[in-house]
Structure 1
Amino acid sequence: MNGSVSGGASSSRERVLARVRRALADVPRDERPRDVGVERGYLRVHGDRTAEQTVDLLAENLADYRALVHRVDAAGLPRLLKRLLAAHGSRSVLVPPGLPSEWLAAADPAVVPDREADTAYELDTVDSVVTGCAVAIAETGTIVLDGGPDQGRRRITLVPDHHICVVRVPDQVVRSVPQALERLDPGRPQTWISGPSATSDIELNRVEGVHGPRTLEVILVGGGSERQAPSVR
Structure 2
Amino acid sequence: MSGGGASRARVLARVRRALADVPRHERPGDHPVPRGYEHVHGRRTPQESVALLAAHLTEYRAVVHRTDEAGLPGLIAALLERRGARRVVVPEGLPAAWPAQASAEKVPDTADLTVRDLDAVDSVVTGCALAVAETGTLVLDGGPGQGRRRITLVPDHHICVVRVPGQVVDSVPQALARLSPTRPLTWISGPSATSDIELDRVEGVHGPRALDVVLAGDPAVGP
SS in 1 for 2:154: coil
Correspondence for 1:75: 70
| Consecutive unaligned residues in structure 1, runs of 5 or more | 1-13
Deviations 1:168-199 (A, max 9, x none): 01111000000000111101111100000000
* Structure-to-structure mapping, 1:1-233, within 5 angstroms: 20=18, 25=21, 27-224=22-219
| Consecutive unaligned residues in structure 2, runs of 5 or more | 1-13
Deviations 1:10-41 (A, max 9, x none): xxxx9xx98x56xx74x432111123222211
The number of residues matched between the two structures is 211
* Paired-residue identity, %: 64
User: Which segment is superposed worse, 57-66 or 32-41?
Assistant: 32-41
Cα distance in 1 for partners of 2:31, 2:95 equals 42
Structure 1 length-normalised TM: 0.85
Shift of 1:104: 1.2
Instruction: Please tell me whether Structure 1 or Structure 2 has the larger radius of gyration of its CA atoms.
Output: 1
Shift >4 Å, 4+ stretches: none
Correspondence for 2:10: none
Cα distance in 2 for partners of 1:202, 1:39 equals 39
Cα distance in 2 for partners of 1:31, 1:58 equals 42
